[in-house]
Amino acid sequence: MTKFEYEHSVEGPASVETVWALWSDVSRWTEWDESLESVTLTGPFAEGSSGTMTIEGQGAIPFTLTSVDPGIGFVDETSVPGALLRFSHRVEQLSDGVRVTHSVVIEGPEAQTLGPLVTADFPDAVEALVKLAS
């Protein structure tokens, strides 16, 4: 099976609690990820809850939270024709702030095609998240 992997980290003077608050309120994801028009979640920010992300120019795409560790990170999965996308989000406390890491593993025949498109804005989004949380 074809696989694509990517990871990006940003360090900044934010707190783990502030980053977690921005992640767990999905309606605020558009404040730090410019590619998103809207995000909805049915149920709590917890494993098993699902929702939709409306990506600019692409319409609504469903996702499911597959792992949620409050104050540490979460994983969400999206299935599209030809690929399964697994996004991981982690926050680590540093002596002078935090390190926020977003990563994705894409599996399926379309992984290599989708990978560069999906990750093009990762650096900007993670940087914007850390800045907003600071």
Query: Is residue 57 predicted with pLDDT exceeding 90?
Result: no
CATH number of 3-133: 3.30.530.20
**pLDDT tens, position by position, 63-119:** 999 999 999 999 999 999 999 999 999 999 999 999 999 999 999 999 999 999 999
pLDDT bin (cut points 50, 70, 90) of residue 59 is: confident
Pick the closest to residue 121 from 53, 25, 57, 36 (CA basis).
Answer: 36
User: Distances in Å between the alpha carbon of 96 and those of 10, 23, 52, 88, 89?
Assistant: 13, 21, 35, 23, 20
**pLDDT tens, position by position, 19-30:** 999 999 999 999
**Full-model pTM:** 0.94
For residues 108, 6, 23 and 56, what is the CA-based torsion angle, rounded to 10 degrees? -70
